[in-house]
Chains A and B, each alone.
Chain A
Amino acid sequence: MTRHAAEKSDPARLEGAAAWHARLHDGHAPDWAAFTAWLEEDPCNRLAFDAVDMAAAEATEAWEQRGSAPEARLPVGFARRAAFAASVLAAAGLALAVILPPLLRAPAEVLRVATTVGEQRDVTLADGSVLHVNTATSLTATLDGDSRGVRLDKGEVLLEVARDPKRPFHVMAGDREVTVVGTTFNVVRDAGAVNVSVAEGIVQVQSGAAAVRLQPGDRYRGREGSPAYALTKSDPAAVTAWREGQLIFEEASLADVVSTMNRYFERQITPAPEVRNLRFSGVLKMDDQVLMLRRLEAFLPVAVRESGNELHLERSTSK
């Protein structure tokens, strides 16, 4: 590996990798056999190609963030603004030291994140907080000098909030507002329901004037439009399970299981009315949709019927 470490960033090798990347990105009739042979020639070629591909992806991501995050261009804009402020203030004969601090406040960083069905993405905010964005989700994160916040339009996000007592972190999910200082917790907004579960730390959920404090392992379930909620206990470790490709259910209705699965796959599953209230407890490994349904068939008296692109869950006749 030490040889790799030294040679993966050897300029000539990187140049070769970059040429392949450029050619394959969009070439007409690229020579895949020749590319395979080049990779097989020396393991360092693969590592150099990884470096090029990673750099291309990082550049794309950084450029996209720059579009929505004025902060990224702070040095130029800030210098210009501060110089302008200074000249105005000097002309007015005011003491710079007194007036300038409010102008020094960092401008808001605004970041929009959207994932497609089946996509999961991790986003690190400028404060060090990490958003693990699950399938079919859209959200906006805003950071400025006084506050940090995420507006969850739909979907699911697991938040690891960097501790900062001076800047509480708010998550708006429909008419629920979740406030924390630093912790790990999960928020789902899907089909009118808002669910919050806590892995670490203390989280406050506010709906109108009513607020409730959640401890690790607490699971809050509410519906938009009503301040009512249900509180249940679960294993704090289960909160982060989706990141390991697992869906954990405890006494969940089949309707809930299906609506969770439906966020991960394009093909929507429809449960028949007579099976919607069947209860399921267990761990479903997220892999192939049909395989997941087959596993459900083993636990519950249900059967999968495929018609065209649709999947139906019905009561099985054999059990």
Chain B
Amino acid sequence: MTEEVFNRLVSVYVGMRAELLRFLHARLGNEAAADDVFQELFLKLRFAQLPEHVQNPRSFIYRTAFNLSNAHARSARRRVARDSQWSETTTQKVGGEAIADVAGAEDRLAAKEHLRVVLQAIEALPPKCKEVFINCRIEGRSHREVTERLGISAKTVEKHMTTALKHLALTLADVSRDWG
């Protein structure tokens, strides 16, 4: 990235401060996290490998903020889940090896079971919907590529993605470790 592109991005970023903080606050539900991600966003713009030309700095910055805030929310959720698991495990270890072994076996089972449930949820999608989901989300193809590949309209891609995401969220919300 040229210094010129960076400078342009930063001036846009500074000008967007109020709306970005508002967006991050709405997305993360707390001001401290919004501030953190706002800072992180700057570091990202400064140090990440960015494209040579950024056509639309505003939407580029919003997209980066969107990705960072999603990752932030996920890792916060996982930390909470892990901390509660960890304290359960250590409490049990006090009781002696036999009990710790049981906890280990339960963890092992839980990890395996979780993977199985997630894969089953994907397999349970209607065929076309599953194909769109795998193409877009897992293989990272753009919606435009997928419309050409599968010969369907952009609206249909979006519709299948919505169905897939809703189904996965509904299935996993009940069983996920992260939702306890």
Contacts and interface: CB of A to CB of B under 8 A. Distances in A.
Interface of A: 8-9, 11, 14-15, 17-19, 21-27, 29-30, 32-33, 35-36, 39-40, 43, 46, 48-66, 69, 71-73, 122, 124-128, 162-164, 182, 265-267, 288-289
Interface in B134-160: 134, 136-138, 142-143, 158
Interface in B155-180: 158, 161-166, 168-174, 176, 178-179
Contacts of A163: 97, 100-101, 104
Q: B interface, by DSSP: helix, strand, loop or mixed?
A: helix
Contact of A50 (B47, B73, B107, B165): B73
A307 to B, nearest CB: 14
A30 B59 contact: yes
A143 B167 CA distance: 31
B136 A26 contact: yes
B174 A25 contact: no
B82 interface: yes
Contacts of A71: 112
Contacts of B165: 17-18, 21-22, 52, 55-56
A55 B172 contact: yes
Given A22-B158, A22-B162, A58-B172, A53 B111 contact: no
Contacts of A61: 118
Given A11-B166, A18-B169, A64-B138, 17 more contacts: A9-B169, A17-B169, A18-B161, A18-B163, A32-B59, A36-B19, A36-B22, A39-B26, A46-B26, A54-B176, A54-B179, A62-B115, A63-B138, A66-B115, A163-B97, A265-B47, A266-B47
A26 B143 contact: yes
Contacts of B158: 19, 22-23, 27
B29 interface: yes
A39 B74 CA distance: 17
Interface string B67-85: 0001001100110001000
Contacts of B49: 266
A46 B29 contact: yes
Interface string B91-121: 0000001001100111110111001101101
Contacts of A125: 111
Most buried by B among A14, A54, A60: A54
B149 to A, nearest CB: 14
Contact of B161 (A9, A22, A54, A63): A22
A19 B164 CA distance: 10
9 contacts: A15-B162, A22-B165, A40-B26, A46-B27, A54-B172, A58-B118, A59-B168, A122-B82, A163-B101
